[in-house]
Amino acid sequence: MRKLLINSTALATVAGLAASASFADVSITATSEFAFSDRESKVVASNGTFQTQSSEVGMTFTNKTDNGLTVSYNTQFTSAGTVAIDESALSISGGFGKIVLGQKDGVTGTYGMGAEDLIAEESNTGLTVSATISTGSDIALGTNDNNKVAYHLPAMGGLTVGASFEDSGASATANTATDTTALGARYVTELNGMAITLAAANATTETASTLADTKADNMGVKVVRGNISAIYATTNYTADGEDRSTTGYSISYNMGDGLTIGAYSNTSEDSVDLDSASQGESYSVNGVEAQYTLAAGLTAVLNVDNYDYDAPTSNAAGSDDGSLTKLTIKAAF
């Protein structure tokens, strides 16, 4: 009898908690990619065939408060050989706009535009001979997943604007206590049956020494008319010993029946390179892509890239040119 009474009390307590608790809406998504690549390269270590795999699981918890706020927590786990937390952030949104707190890209990742945003698999030639040349027209500064705070204004017609700040913390070592401030905006409109998107982003990372601040800016325009889409984008990046400029474009055409084809090009120059103050380096890539939907959530992507890399005079032996052919199987859940 006593055991029955205890069990009844426990059930009543759980039922009471369930009735008074506010449970969040939960969304779980996942993606997985497997790619087989064949690279023709003058660099022996980069030549040949190879396989790569990456996966990501995302979870979002959302609550609606009594005073009209939307509170969400998002976390993402990635795996490219080792499982790690990629993003983890809290967001609060309402009539005032949206605040994002935690480990998430800054606003440059939200508002910036790269030429290959139309392309399912961005060009990746495995350029290993230099870490001081840009290989795409995306803005890279401020897009890490370090802790930061971001604010997005409410949409004003077709205009959206945001800002983010990353505090690197205190440091006794020069050039390591570096804070990053970023701004971004997009404007969407229609003209003569075309959907046009204008994008701009800017980021500055301060230095804690006499070295110049690191700066990057990006501008892009996207035009969509029917099944045809096109992007033109440009990015500039300056730092101590670095002065890079990158221009790119892409075009895609949805042919129907699950097939989309695209073409893309990026050209990058570093007029002042860390490896040589008198001679910079340059990189260009041109490629084509075909995406085909095998089934709902399952896509095959074929890319063929041709690239050319000119190293600075101090490392002329590192110059390379070649091609990369890659077949990727992508699944989304």
CATH number at residue 295: 2.40.160.10
Q: Considering the domain boundaries, does residue 19 fall inside one?
A: no
What's residue 169's pLDDT?
73
Q: Considering the domain boundaries, does residue 16 fall inside one?
A: no
The candidate with the shortest Cα–Cα distance to 246, out of 278, 213, 284, 272, is 284
- Tokens read off for 282: 């340059």
Q: Considering the domain boundaries, does residue 273 fall inside one?
A: yes
The candidate with the shortest Cα–Cα distance to 139, out of 54, 75, 245, 216, is 216
Q: pTM (2 decimals)?
A: 0.83
CA 47 to chain centre: 27
What's residue 174's pLDDT?
52
Q: How far apart are CA 185 and CA 225, in angstroms?
A: 22
Q: Considering the domain boundaries, does residue 9 fall inside one?
A: no
Residue with tokens 């309402």: 94
Phi-psi region of 172 (alpha: psi -120 to 50; beta: other; left: phi over 0): alpha
What's residue 246's pLDDT?
93
Beta strands 228-239; 159-166: pairing state: unpaired
Q: Considering the domain boundaries, does residue 15 fall inside one?
A: no
Q: How far apart are CA 56 and CA 75, in angstroms?
A: 10
The candidate with the shortest Cα–Cα distance to 221, out of 235, 246, 203, 200, is 200
The total number of structural domains that make up the chain: 1
Q: Considering the domain boundaries, does residue 202 fall inside one?
A: yes
Q: Which pairs count as long-range contacts for 11-14, CB under 8 Å and 24+ apart, including other chains? A: none
Q: How far apart are CA 234 and CA 188, in angstroms?
A: 18
Burial class (CB in 10 A: 0-12, 13-18, 19+), 235: buried
Q: How far is CA 193 from CA 156, 229, 249, 250, in A?
A: 22, 13, 21, 20
What's residue 23's pLDDT?
63
Q: How far apart are CA 158 and CA 140, in angstroms?
A: 25
Q: Considering the domain boundaries, does residue 54 fall inside one?
A: yes
| Average pLDDT per 10 consecutive residues for the chain, totaling 333 residues | 38 37 79 93 84 93 93 89 82 96 91 93 66 80 86 96 88 66 96 96 84 90 97 91 90 96 93 56 92 96 92 70 93 95
Q: Considering the domain boundaries, does residue 22 fall inside one?
A: no
Angle at 29 between CA 28 and CA 34, to 5 degrees: 150
Residues of the domain holding 210: 34-332
Q: How far apart are CA 221 and CA 233, in angstroms?
A: 6
- Tokens read off for 318: 């590192």
